Amino acid sequence: MPHRQSPIPVLWLMTDERLGDGLWAALRRLPSGSGVVFRHYATAARERRKLFRRVARIARARGLVVVRAGARAGYGEDGVHGAARACNGLRTAPAHDRREAVAAVRRGADVLFVSPVFATRSHPGAEALGARKARRIARGLPVTVIALGGMDARRFREMTGFDGWAAIDAWGAGGSGAK
């Protein structure tokens, strides 16, 4: 990885507006060395920047890696979510099928979030891939591959073919986190 020197996290929190004030507890629950993908797509730009700066301060203090989705890089993030963007840091990308995964790798992604592995509140009614199909998407790719969608530590322990897992709800209040 020519543009990245520190280890790539294998545990991730995906943020969004559903977390509300639970975001702060979720950030506290993440083990040092974990990653945060800051999304908050529906938040107005000015408030989103302010929220991101607060998340980034907490992440730095706790030894977390933070990547930002959306517009171009430049707000103190360690990378960007969406491998098509030029970035000197970590580049992450979603992958919902094999074609999308291969394209993201060709664009320079360091990390792929294969989703939704299981049913998730983030995409109500969306068909889950299931562990087998998700593994086929991830198989043989030369990047870190993270399982996303209905994931928690227990489900991850029962799976093979992934380097780590990401979630929203598992890191929130009542979630199983890294247990």
Contact assessment for residue 139 and residue 161, using Cβ atoms and an 8 Å cutoff: yes
Q: What is the pLDDT of residue 66?
A: 94
Contacts for 93-100: CB closer than 8 Å, 24+ residues apart? 94/148, 95/137, 95/138, 96/129, 97/137, 98/136, 98/137
Question: Is 70 exceeded by the pLDDT of residue 148?
Answer: yes
Q: What is the arithmetic mean of pLDDT over 25-31?
A: 95
pTM of the model: 0.90
Residue 98 within a domain = yes
Q: What is the arithmetic mean of pLDDT over 77-92?
A: 77
Q: What is the pLDDT of residue 172?
A: 74
Residue 3 within a domain = no
| Cis before 116 (ω within 30) | yes
Which has the higher per-residue pLDDT, 76 or 91?
Answer: 91
| CATH code for the domain of 42 | 3.20.20.70
Task: For residues 56 and 35, give the distance between their C-alpha atoms in angstroms, rounded to a whole number.
Answer: 11
Domains: count for the chain: 1
Q: What are 69's two structure tokens?
A: 């989705």
Q: What is the pLDDT of residue 1?
A: 32
Range of the domain at 117: 11-171
Question: Is 50 exceeded by the pLDDT of residue 2?
Answer: no
Q: What is the arithmetic mean of pLDDT over 135-164?
A: 96
Question: Is 70 exceeded by the pLDDT of residue 84?
Answer: no
